[in-house]
Amino acid sequence: MPTTDKRTCVIGAGPCGLAAVKNLLRAGCDVVCYEESDGIGGNWAFTDDPGRGSVHECTHTISSRRMSSFDDFPMPAHFPDFPSHRQMLAYFTDYARTFHLEPHIRFGTRVEHCELNDRGRWEVRVVADGTATTEVFDSLVVCSGHHRDAFVPEFPGTFAGRILHSSAYKRPEPFRGQRVLVVGAGNSAVDIAVDIARVASHTALSVREGTYIVPKLLFGHPIDVVYAYWQNLLPRPLLRLSLKVWLRFAVGRWEGYGLPTPTGAPLEKHPTVNSSVLEALRSGRLAARRAIERYDGHTVWFTDGVREEFDAIVMGTGFRTTFPFLSGRIVGWDLSRTPPLYLKMMHPTIPNLFFIGLFQPVGCVWRLADYQARIAALQISGRLRRPPDIGTRIRHEVRRSHARSGPSPRHAIAVDYRTFRRQLMRELA
């Protein structure tokens, strides 16, 4: 039973939304969670529906089992180091059951618009079965994910084949026997390139700039576990140097794979964690190409003058972080820069609005989102004070962004796992 009559609306029942509902219920709040699909799990609920983004048929986690368990809900010991998406969905389903979350979730209900009324309460317009209704809440917790609004870059000319975004990629079979170009060097792009290379007649990976590609295992342990261990022992510059040296021994020269040499230190930017792509490049199943310059029918011209014919292009070119249900007055920030939110969650001027999971660590998202959700729940239930100097804190956070790269939507929400965890724990303390 809720111990407060204050109503809270949660948008989305992905991993972060589930963590939000759990923490709000624990804090005694009256919670309604709206989820537009018919089940929990968000991105981890694999679907063949091309209109709905999800992980791919071949997806296994990038963050390891040990680092990807909620603190209060370890994954089963028989799960492998990098569980499949099916195992992850089973884990989140178990989590929702254990904490009795499902009765608070309204499935098949899309949030269309959220507006603050004169009394500072949220009027939330939702659509279910084609019928729109509006409900009023005291607080709004946004957990709608940041892998939704696909970003597809445009190039001069016209491509005569098929172009699709990685979020619509489900499995390799439709590309059997085709010539396929995968664009991007992020985790999704390289996963898809390796997957397609198994069945396509020719697969190439177009990479714009040098990116560290880090094998999933180091000394026989998941890389995030090893990194977390050494982070506690070594100062950051020494840790980065050690990683660079280790990568040089383990991987060798990037030119040997046809890839541009990365600048800066490993893990300065969000890395690509994949053990198979380097081997695929060296065994000729995958060819490395530079950035696209232009299209001409089925021909793609690359910036180094190489040209090649393709039947299809898969864009692993990331997402825009957008909130179509909130007005630009509330979230009208520059998407290529760190969002002006304290701890990536608290709005500068609206105390009853929270964002959960709007960050990208080298490691697991939902585990840190659970701490954010705890902070939100304690503030909503009146047990934790919102910092009075929030504007100053936000300016400080934006100035000292964890992302050590120029403006880019991909790196705008990057956080250093350990530093961010420490900041969240400090707030909770």
Ligand X SMILES: Cc1cc2nc3c(=O)[nH]c(=O)nc-3n(C[C@H](O)[C@H](O)[C@H](O)COP(=O)(O)OP(=O)(O)OC[C@H]3O[C@@H](n4cnc5c(N)ncnc54)[C@H](O)[C@@H]3O)c2cc1C
CB of 59 to ligand X, least distance (A): 5
Give the Cα separation of 166 and 327 in Å (integer).
Answer: 28
Residue with tokens 């809270």: 8
How does DSSP classify residue 337?
Answer: S
- Least Cβ distance, residue 331 to ligand X (angstroms): 13
Applying CB under 6 A, does 144 fall inside the site for ligand X?
A: yes
Among 84, 139, 188, 352, contact with ligand X (rule: CB under 6 A): 188
- Does residue 147 interact with ligand X by CB under 6 A? yes
Does residue 83 interact with ligand X by CB under 6 A?
Answer: no
Helix (H) or strand (E) run with residue 360 in it: strand 360-361
Please identify, using beta-carbon distances, which residue of 222 and 262 lies nearer to ligand X.
Answer: 222
- Cβ of residue 29: shortest distance to ligand X, in angstroms? 19
Nearest to 109 by CA among 127, 125, 86, 130: 127
Chosen residue from 10, 13, 243, 314 binding ligand X by CB under 6 A: 13
φ, ψ of residue 50 in degrees (nearest 5)? -65, -20
CB of 75 to ligand X, least distance (A): 12
Largest CA distance in the chain: 67
Beta carbons of 28 and 104 less than 8 angstroms apart: no
Cβ–Cβ under 8 Å, residues 106 and 33: yes
Residue 394, interface with ligand X (CB under 6 A)? no
* Positions 343 through 372 that interact with ligand X (CB under 6 A): 357, 364-366
Which of 37/179 has CB closer to ligand X?
Answer: 37
Chain-centre distance for alpha carbon 67: 15
CA-to-CA distance for 147 and 310, rounded, in angstroms? 27
Q: Binding to ligand X by residue 338, rule CB under 6 A? A: no
Which listed residue (8, 61, 272, 352) binds ligand X by CB under 6 A?
Answer: 61
Write the burial class of residue 363 (CB in 10 Å: 0-12 exposed, 13-18 middle, 19+ buried).
Answer: buried
Shortest Cβ distance from residue 211 to ligand X (Å)?
Answer: 16
Say whether residue 262 binds ligand X (CB under 6 A): no
Among 21, 62, 313, 373, binds ligand X (CB under 6 A): 62
Q: How many whole angstroms separate alpha carbon 20 and alpha carbon 26?
A: 10
- Using CB under 6 A as the binding rule, whether residue 24 contacts ligand X is answered as no
For residue 302, the minimal CB distance to ligand X (Å) is: 26
Give the Cα separation of 218 and 231 in Å (integer): 14
CA distances to 9, 240, 383 from 341, rounded to whole Å, are 19, 28, 21
Please identify which residue in 9, 16, 280, 343 interacts with ligand X, judged by CB under 6 A: 16
Q: Which of 21, 27, 55, 300 binds ligand X (CB under 6 A)?
A: 55
Judged by the rule CB under 6 A, the positions of this chain that interact with ligand X are 11-17, 34-37, 42-44, 55-56, 59, 61-63, 68, 110-111, 143-145, 147, 188, 325, 357, 364-366
